[in-house]
Structure 1
Amino acid sequence: MTAGRPLHVLVVHNRYRSAQPSGEDRVVDQEAALLAAAGHRVGRFERRSDDIAGMPLLRKAAIPLRVPWNAPVRAELAALLRRERPDIVHIHSTFPLLSPSVVAACADARVPAVATLHNYLMVCPTGTLYRAGRVCTDCVGATPLPAVRHGCYRDSRLATVPLAVNLAANRRRWWSDVARFFCISAAQRDILVGAGMPADRLRVKPNFVPDPVERRRGRGEGLLYLGRLTEEKGVRLLMTAWDELRARGGLGLPLVLAGAGPLHDELVRWASGCDDVRYLGLRTRDECAGLIARAAAVVAPSVWPEAFGLVVAEAMAAGVPVVAAGHGAFVELVEDGVTGLRHPPGDAASLAGCLRRVVADPVRNAALGLAGRRRYERDLAPAVGLERLVAGYEAAIADPVRPGRS
């Protein structure tokens, strides 16, 4: 039994490029810090995608070949596990420098493993369930050949092949050799169970967010979009909705956008022609927290079914109402008319109407924010996250799988 005693946890994660800040990296760091503060011992086994740029050409060229399986990583991690003997290994992202060989390393060393599923990579080679401007489930519960045919990763069939091979070759290993999976929403779990993942090992454990230093006071200074500048995040949809609002006289508050991504240049051109739009580019975490606390509402118009939505949870923590697309995890996070407003996914006119409504009545706006804060305290605060995390570890340690060796 482990209840009541400190655990030794080894965190396995491939960090994203710093030019494209990732919510996954933030979740990993926050969980590790929370565990350490509670007296648990936390080790790290990590790779950094930033390191790819400095690699010799031949080593860089070999990376796609090792996406499905990286034998040196397996050997290195297995040796570390035998030396350190952690109680549990917590796997996060393995793309592109680690690979699912980390699961085999845990089996080699006979250390139980859990994995947080931050996206849909178990059933979709790109992890987004989104293609060509629409939600796509062609590979869910089937072979990943459609992803190759459509060139879903970087619009390239060749670049998609390693991800498709990874999914086809390793799906069963993940499903049979990992003791527990943490889904970050019930919506995500439903999709994964429907695709054939073992329901008894999938536990819903939403991400937590730290209690912000600064909370919203007053009406707020503008409507805020904070996140990656990509089509699936609803950036183009938001621009269309804002153009509709401007054509009818605007809202009297600016639209503030912060982030980075492939739509940067398009957004800059659009914003330059709007006197009520402020594009701030990439901002630090502290700056982003300040932007949230000063917002009248946070906008999350994703056109793909988000598995969670950190910015939504952060807005709730700061007492700021949310306008979000009505699908994926947002249906669980945002109670329509109580903690924010939901609009039909992909519907620019409905999004515009929600933006108008959320700022039209300051009293109701404040009530939405306070309800969101209460929801945060109940379900998304660090103490709740720690309890769920440790309970998942202890369940995996008490009832580990017996993986086959290969």
Structure 2
Amino acid sequence: MRVLVVHNRYSSAQPSGENRVVDEEVGLLRAAGHRVELFERRSDDIARRSLPGKVAVPLLVPWNPAVRTELAARLRAGRPDVVHVHNVFPLLSPSVLAACADAGVPVVATLHNYTQVCPPGTLHRDGRPCSECVGRTVPLPAVRHGCYRDSRPATVPLAVGLAVNRRRWWSGVDRFFCISAAQRDVLVRSGMPAGLLVVKHNFVPDPGVRREGDGEHLLFLGRLAEPKGVRLLMAAWDALAAEGGVGVPLVVAGAGPLEPEVTAWAAGRDDVRYAGLYGPDECREAVARSVAVVAPSLARETFGLVVAEAMAAGVPAVAAGHGGFAELVEDGVTGLLHRPGDAVSLAQCLRRIAGGPEGNREMGRAARIRYERGFGPAVGLARLEEEYRSVIAGRSGGGGAPPPAGESTGRKSTGSPRVRPRGRDGGSR
């Protein structure tokens, strides 16, 4: 198949699981013989723009007409079998959907977060879950609270884009890929058309290294930010240290806004090591040397790459018992789930996972089996190919898989004066 992948790459200053997922899927498809091309923008390029160019970026978030023109020309020059959309913020915008509608090309989109119902995509605010904007046509609460980067002006373009493009997404995408059933359930309850949403988990490449022995440390690997549960982990670890510790150190690896706080907290301690930002090889080695990987997110993660990567290395996880984690981790079998936001519960799980070597080894073996059956490359490739072929067949009249009985596909006019054939909104503005 010929596949065009559309993605706005996140800043290289922070590690991006989404960028990795896109790169790994592209590599997987190419290795299988599919012809994959990229239509990209890079957030890093914003810094090199002129001052007027930087000022204009927020205005282009809801709609970028130049991108529509460029992509339309690209599609005319070489029509792919399917377009796979990932992230369009901030430089691409939903105008990519209009270009695909003009060309009559099937479109699938991976939903890596909750931006279809929440402007910043997190369903999290001020250290707790938030659903104030869910179900609203205009997400004004997000603007009022300044949910994106704690800034009302920065949140406005996202809120406007969500409000004016919601129906465009629903009519312009043949199939949305949710990366967990937990995410799909939230989106369906939020009003997204259930018939457009299927579950396609992220896959994780085999790391080529697995844990030998019982492990050397507990590992937090991720962005050092409040929604990731970093402060919760520090509180739980301090409580454990006051009781004598768990016998192994905690390694914290990553970067983010809480880095100064984490650095100061870890300084001078024998039971904590702040390792900074690991490269890919260092990540694999650190995971494979772990007693367990710790993922105490306060936000409801849509998937949880670090947990799946631990499973691939035969390492159990201690994770918050909500969102995608509750789907990845079978409590007591492939890892342990703690009560979200509860430092006491987290401390109890850390003590248990580090204090029983035999049970830990059994969990590690079960985690590897779970990875092989659900999240390995062969499973990921088969699922991608299946969904691509289904939407292509549906467009060509071959009868792709129908939506479940009683579920709307959401394909109806959005009130635009230019509604394309097959009910697709042409996106004129």
- State the alpha-carbon separation in 2 of the partners of residues 141 and 285 from structure 1: 39
- State the alpha-carbon separation in 2 of the partners of residues 213 and 188 from structure 1: 30
Q: State which of 248, 256, 265 in structure 2 corresponds to 1:261.
A: 256
Moved over 3 A (4+): none
Is structure 2 residue 81 aligned with structure 1 residue 87? yes
How much has 1:394 moved relative to structure 2? Answer: 1.0
Q: Given residue 20 of structure 1, which amino acid in structure 2 is its aligned partner? A: Q
Partner of 2:339: 344
Partner of 1:176: 171
- State the alpha-carbon separation in 2 of the partners of residues 284 and 332 from structure 1: 27
- State the alpha-carbon separation in 2 of the partners of residues 287 and 81 from structure 1: 40
Is structure 2 residue 379 aligned with structure 1 residue 384? yes
How much has 1:283 moved relative to structure 2? Answer: 1.0
Is structure 2 residue 84 aligned with structure 1 residue 63? no
Worse-matched range after superposition: 62-71 or 139-148: 139-148
Q: State which of 116, 122, 127 in structure 2 corresponds to 1:122.
A: 116
Partner of 2:278: 283
Q: Matched residue pairs, number?
A: 400
Is structure 2 residue 103 aligned with structure 1 residue 109? yes
- State the alpha-carbon separation in 1 of the partners of residues 148 and 43 from structure 2: 17
- State the alpha-carbon separation in 2 of the partners of residues 152 and 280 from structure 1: 30
- State the alpha-carbon separation in 2 of the partners of residues 86 and 227 from structure 1: 35
How much has 1:275 moved relative to structure 2? Answer: 2.0
Give secondary structure in 1 for the equivalent of 2:5. strand
Q: State which of 63, 67, 74 in structure 2 corresponds to 1:73.
A: 67
How much has 1:42 moved relative to structure 2? Answer: 0.2
Partner of 2:416: none
1:313-352 correspondence to structure 2 within 5 Å: 313-352=308-347
Is structure 2 residue 6 aligned with structure 1 residue 12? yes
How much has 1:274 moved relative to structure 2? Answer: 2.5
* Structure 2, gaps ≥5 residues long: 396-410, 412-421
- State the alpha-carbon separation in 2 of the partners of residues 274 and 236 from structure 1: 17
Q: Given residue 425 of structure 2, which amino acid in structure 1 is its aligned partner? A: G
How much has 1:273 moved relative to structure 2? Answer: 4.3
Partner of 1:369: 364
Give secondary structure in 1 for the equivalent of 2:37. strand
Give the percent of matched residue pairs that are identical in Structure 1 and Structure 2. Answer: 69
Q: Given residue 330 of structure 2, which amino acid in structure 1 is its aligned partner? A: E
Partner of 1:297: 292
Partner of 1:3: none
Question: Please, what is the CA RMSD of the aligned residues?
Answer: 0.8
| Structure-2-length-normalised TM-score | 0.92
Give secondary structure in 2 for the equivalent of 1:159. helix
| Structure-1-length-normalised TM-score | 0.98
Provide Cα deviations, 1:16-67, integer angstroms capped at 9, x if missing partner: 1111110000000000000000000000000011111111110011000000
Partner of 1:227: 222
Is structure 2 residue 190 aligned with structure 1 residue 195? yes
Partner of 2:403: none
- State the alpha-carbon separation in 2 of the partners of residues 184 and 163 from structure 1: 22
Give secondary structure in 1 for the equivalent of 2:40. strand
Partner of 1:404: 425
Is structure 2 residue 187 aligned with structure 1 residue 166? no
- State the alpha-carbon separation in 1 of the partners of residues 299 and 182 from structure 2: 12
